Amino acid sequence: MEKSVIIREMQKADIPEVLRLMEAIVVFEGDTDFSLTENDLLKRGFGDRPEFGAIVAQGEKNQLIGIAVHYNIPFMHNHKPSLMLKWLYVDTNHRGKSVGRKLLRGLAQYAMKHGYKKFNWFVLGSNVDAQKFYQSIGANPDNKWIRWTITPDNMVQLFKE
Domains of the chain: 6-160 (3.40.630.30)
Q: Tell me: pLDDT of 3 over 90.
A: no
pLDDT in tens, 15-36: 999 999 999 999 999 998 999 9
Specify the pTM: 0.90
Q: Is pLDDT of 132 > 70? A: yes
Measure the CA–CA gap between 115 and 109, rounded to whole angstroms: 10
Tell me the pLDDT band of 74, cut-offs 50, 70 and 90: confident
Q: With bands split at pLDDT 50, 70 and 90, how would you rate the model's confidence at 2? A: low
- The amino acid occupying position 110 is Y
pLDDT greater than 70 at residue 1: no
Q: Are 103 and 141 in contact (CB under 8 A)?
A: no
pLDDT band at 118 (very low <50, low <70, confident <90, very high): confident
DSSP 18: H
CA angle 105, 12, 133 (to 5 degrees): 25
Q: CA angle, 9 as apex, 125 and 15 as ends, to 5°?
A: 80
Neighbouring-strand partners of residue 64: 58
How far, in Å, CA of 13 to CA of 10, rounded?
A: 8
